[in-house]
Structure 1
Amino acid sequence: MTDLHQQIADLEAEIDVLSDAAERCRKSMIVSKWIIAAGVLLFTAALVGLLRSDPMVLIAGIAATLAGISFFGSSRSTFQEISGKIRAYEVRRAELIDGMDLRTV
């Protein structure tokens, strides 16, 4: 019986760790959206003439946009992978709890 309790506790600890990692991924996705927006604004402002039309400004806008897109994609795929693991651990935890034959008091 204590082995089941330990397995459940281990699963819950792992779920907590994965939940923290998922939250970091979610925050990274928000940051990457801001980077994309800043890159697009910088590029557009340089094209329209609001900023001096220096090639370095255009390149910086393009680079920021591409870096943000790449960072967002990486964070999103990691988030999806972590979410899948969390769901699998929660299912396993529920199976262990159901297998304990607990009484209703």
Structure 2
Amino acid sequence: MTEDDDPTDEISRIEARLEELAEAAERCRKFILASKAAIAGGAALLLVTMLGLFGVGIVSALGSIAMILGGIVSLGSNVSTLRQTEEAIGAAELLRSDLISRIDLRMVRDAPMKLV
């Protein structure tokens, strides 16, 4: 950034990026919740299948194992993506704070207000 650039433009771009990152983090949280539900559902289905409460044992057992493994893979992927997104949010907030501190802000003194 050169001295001629207006830092408020860069701050606006950073804030737009922060909004995008916040939305991505929220999506990751939703996928993490769905992954945990898939793991729990697969484990419950496997338990029910092992107890013989379903007539089709082999297909149910394979399906439940697939749910568990898919949930674990999805959970791991989204947790790491969430960590990376949170780190990017922290870096963007730090940059925004640095840019704000460079702006020559002036104190507005108390002045009588004119009523129109």
Normalising by structure 1, we get a TM-score of 0.95
Normalising by structure 2, we get a TM-score of 0.86
Distance 1:78 1:93 in 2: 22
Question: Equivalent residues in 2 for 1:1-105 (5 A)?
Answer: 3-52=6-55, 54-105=57-108
Deviation at 1:104, TM superposition (A): 2.5
Supply the AA of the counterpart residue of 2:103: M
Supply the AA of the counterpart residue of 2:29: R
Contact 1:18 1:86 in 2 (8 A): yes
Report the aligned-residue RMSD.
1.2
| Structure 2 residues not aligned, in runs of 5+ | 109-116
C-alpha deviations, 1:37-72, integer Å up to 9, x for none? 110011000001222252111010111001001001
Give structure 1 regions of 4+ aligned residues with deviation exceeding 6 angstroms: none
Distance 2:107 2:71 in 1: 52
| Structure 1 residues not aligned, in runs of 5+ | none
How many pairs were matched up? 105
SS at match of 1:75: helix
Report which of the two structures shows the higher radius of gyration computed on alpha carbons.
Answer: 2
SS at match of 2:6: helix
Distance 2:52 2:61 in 1: 11
Contact 1:40 1:65 in 2 (8 A): yes
Identical residues among aligned pairs (%): 37
